[in-house]
């Protein structure tokens, strides 16, 4: 099938109704009730929930908007609103052109996301499909239509490419998974908040686990109790669940002179990394401007294995998902990386040995060099794009175009017979996606 990647804002109400109709509104209402409970049950999960379930939450905002005003604000240019409209446009257009079996499977994928881990994996696939359409390819949704194999077969003239999409979440290979540590923060907060007012200085507590943090609630409670014990005693402590180390600092001259807590994390994280050599994104903070501060860093004695885990997953996909009779493309999306981080990923040198390739570049080269993966023509690594607006004149009307564009780190397998054929380099430095056209 081939689809245009542009849609007028006037078509959005119809598209939204068709999208909701795929599963029925009851499934969405049930999901939104659950999400609202998540947002209120643990304040530390709010940003995480807003990121992982952005599509579902935006549907909730749109439905509430319709309920209260009777219409959709089509002039809204928020990033989440654009991404929702682009996603539902792709889903509805593709759904209408699938076979009955394909429609059933796509409906099942939406229901699976609503009942479990969210719709971001499907959002990634729809974004890649929209990119292929924008480059003039016809796309056969192999996995949706057949229930197995690679995700898409992209064809254009004499070109055929098998495309498999992989999503890298927030916990792959991490010893301190994002969701688990945010749940742990709730228990730590309950233990240290009553003690915070007695501090007259800055205090960093390094909580060091022997291995991986799990979702086990009794373990979380035991770790939080150890943190409380360290706060009360003023000395380091060790338990079977963790070790807690203490470091004092003066508030003056630090970000805590003005900062008050979690909202100031970038400057706080940079200070703690520089002062205490703690390179950790999982930091819980309490602060009272200029008076006192408490930072709790949760770490593991075991190193993360993100790259190793990623390539183990990619090796399995390369072996199982492709037919090996056509050129293959592996498309990997990091859901928490920005455009700038993706650009650095493609050009960065090893920090400890300047001039040598970065770890991911070396792993990618070795991955593609294996004879068992000679069918993989190229790989692309992507993050989140940036949503922007431009204007042009169309048929005498001033038209605003809202579009998401992002960087792609593209690596070609030099041993592939078609390595030099630029027609197969379907991801350049920038990848356009669907566009929402707003006429004025």
Q: Evaluate if residue 298 carries a pLDDT over 80.
A: yes
**How is residue 201 annotated by DSSP?**
S
Q: Residues 335-392: pLDDT tens digits?
A: 777 666 666 665 655 455 555 667 788 888 889 999 999 999 999 888 765 555 554 4
pTM for this predicted structure: 0.83
> Taking the domains of the chain in order of start, what are their residue ranges?
6-140, 178-300, 306-439
**Least confident stretch, 136-140, 156-160, 434-438:** 434-438
Three-class secondary structure assignment of 211-256: CCCCCCHHHHHHHHHHHHHHHHHCCCEECCCCEEEEEEECCCCCHH
Measured distance between the N- and C-terminal CA atoms of the chain, rounded to whole angstroms: 32
Distance (Å) of CA 225 to CA 65, 206, 262, 357 = 44, 14, 21, 44
**pLDDT tens digit string along 3-48?**
666 777 788 999 999 999 999 999 999 999 999 998 888 888 888 8
User: How do residues 272-288 score in pLDDT, each as one tens digit?
Assistant: 889 998 877 778 888 88
- Edge-to-edge strand ranges of the sheet holding 243-249: 237-238, 243-249, 202-209, 292-300, 283-288
Q: Can you tell me which residue has the tokens 């009777």?
A: 70
Helix (H, G, I), strand (E, B) or coil at 67: helix
Rounded distance, CA 48 to CA 251, Å?
29
pLDDT exceeds cutoff 60 at 437:
no
CA nearest neighbour of 380 among 165, 151, 144, 137: 165
Residues in the chain: 440
Tell me the per-residue pLDDT of 381-413, one tens digit each, with 9 for 90 and over: 887 655 555 544 445 443 444 455 556 788 889
């Amino acid at each position: 099938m081939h689809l245009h990647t542009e849609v007028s804002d006037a078509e959005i109400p119809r598209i939204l109704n068709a999208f909701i109709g795929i599963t029925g509104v009851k499934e969405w209402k049930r999901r939104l009730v659950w999400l609202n409970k998540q947002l209120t049950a643990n304040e530390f999960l709010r940003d995480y929930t807003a990121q992982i379930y952005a599509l579902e939450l935006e549907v909730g905002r749109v439905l509430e908007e319709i309920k209260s005003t009777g219409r959709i604000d089509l002039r809204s240019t928020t990033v989440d609103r654009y991404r929702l409209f682009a996603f539902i446009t792709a889903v509805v257009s593709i759904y209408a052109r699938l076979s009955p079996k394909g429609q059933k499977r796509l409906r099942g994928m939406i229901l699976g996301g609503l009942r479990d881990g969210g719709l971001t994996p499907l959002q990634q696939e729809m974004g890649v499909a929209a990119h292929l359409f924008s480059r003039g390819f016809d796309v056969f949704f192999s996995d949706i239509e057949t229930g197995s194999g690679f995700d898409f077969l992209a064809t254009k003239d004499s070109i055929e490419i098998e495309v498999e999409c992989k999503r890298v979440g927030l916990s792959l290979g991490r010893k301190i998974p994002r969701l688990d540590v945010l749940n742990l923060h709730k228990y730590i907060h309950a233990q240290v908040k009553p003690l915070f007012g007695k501090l007259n200085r800055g205090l960093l507590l390094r909580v060091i686990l022997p291995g991986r943090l799990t979702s086990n609630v009794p373990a979380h409670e035991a770790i939080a109790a150890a943190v409380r014990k360290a706060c009360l005693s003023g000395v380091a402590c060790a338990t079977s669940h963790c070790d807690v180390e203490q470091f004092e600092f003066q508030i003056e001259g630090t970000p805590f002179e003005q900062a008050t807590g979690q909202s100031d994390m970038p400057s706080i994280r940079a200070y703690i990394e520089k002062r205490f050599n703690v390179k950790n994104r999982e930091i819980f903070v309490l602060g009272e401007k200029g008076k006192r501060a408490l930072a709790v860093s949760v770490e593991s004695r075991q190193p993360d294995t993100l790259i190793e885990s990623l390539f183990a997953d990619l090796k399995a996909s390369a072996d199982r998902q492709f037919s090996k009779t056509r050129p293959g493309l592996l498309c990997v999306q990091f859901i928490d990386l920005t455009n700038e981080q993706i650009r650095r990923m493609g050009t960065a040198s090893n920090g400890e040995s300047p001039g040598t390739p970065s770890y991911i570049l070396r792993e990618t080269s070795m991955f593609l060099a294996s004879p068992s993966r000679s069918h993989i023509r190229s790989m692309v690594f992507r993050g989140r794009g940036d949503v922007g607006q431009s204007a042009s004149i169309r048929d005498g009307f001033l038209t605003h175009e809202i579009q998401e564009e992002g960087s792609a780190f593209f690596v070609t397998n030099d041993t592939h017979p078609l390595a030099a054929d630029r027609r197969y380099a379907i991801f350049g430095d920038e990848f356009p996606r669907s566009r929402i056209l707003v006429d004025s």
